[in-house]
Amino acid sequence: MAKITYVHLSGAVTVIDVPPNNSVMRGAVLNGVDGIVGECGGGAMCGTCHVYVDESCGVALPPMRDVEDELLYGTASPRRANSRLSCQLKADELEGLVVHLPEKQV
């Protein structure tokens, strides 16, 4: 289990203990977190799992693969320096991660 915090646009916060072997995207979808769609199921093909990582949480992220980097240029909400695709983030390795949900995913 890894505790992941999802911050909604309203400022509301959802904290989820994501079961092992799941991505940050999957943890949200399994628990009905609005604001993460995950249309392609985690295949790095849709960009609807876009999140803004809260860098103040101090959790080190894995490097971004090329496919994620390219897809982030086509997301529905603007890419920022802290943008990531949550399907590419393994929750097990990211205990304490805080992500902010973008304005829209599609």
Nearer CB in complex with ligand FES: 11/18:
18
**Max Cα–Cα distance, the chain, nearest Å:** 32
Of 4-12, 13-21, 36-44, 56-64, the segment contacting ligand FES by CB under 6 A is 36-44
Which residue of 5, 31, 40, 100 would you call a contact of ligand FES, by CB under 6 A?
40
Residue nearest to ligand FES (CB): 87
Query: 71 — phi, psi (to 5°)?
Result: -65, -30
What letter represents residue 14's amino acid? T
**Using rule CB under 6 A, residue 4 touches ligand FES:** no
Q: Which of 73, 30, 65, 20 lies closest to 6 in space, CA to CA?
A: 30
Q: How far is the CB of 98 from ligand FES (least distance, A)?
A: 18
User: How far, in Å, CA of 73 to CA of 76, rounded?
Assistant: 9
Burial 73-91 (b: 16+ CB within 10 A, else e): eebebebeeebbbbbbbbb
Give the x/- contact pattern for ligand FES in 44-73, rule: CB under 6 A.
xxxxxx------------------------
Return residues touching ligand FES (CB under 6 A): 25, 38-40, 42-49, 85, 87
